[in-house]
Amino acid sequence: MRKAAIKTIMAAGYLDIIKGNEREIATIYGETSTQQKGVDSTSTLSPAEKATLVSKLAARERNVVVMTGATDYVSDGRRTFSVANGHEYLGVVTGTGCVLGTVISAMVTVFPEDKLAAAVAGLLLFEVAAETAAVRQDVEGPGTFQAAFVDELWKLRRATTAGDWRWLSVAKVTAIDVAEVEV
Catalytic positions, written as ranges: 98
Return all residues near 4 (Cβ < 8 A) that are at least 6 apart. none
- Cα angle 138, 143, 146 (rounded to 5 degrees) comes to 80
- Cα angle 181, 115, 13 (rounded to 5 degrees) comes to 85
- Three-class DSSP category at 81: strand
Contact 79, 51 (CB under 8 A): no
Please classify residue 96 by burial: count the beta carbons closer than 10 Å to its beta carbon, then call 0-12 exposed, 13-18 middle and 19+ buried: buried
Q: Is the dihedral of CA 35, 37, 76, 61 positive or negative?
A: positive
Which residue from 6, 9, 8, 46 is spatially nearest to 24, judged by alpha carbons?
6
Give how far the C-alpha of residue 111 lies from the chain's centroid of Cα atoms, to the nearest Å. 17
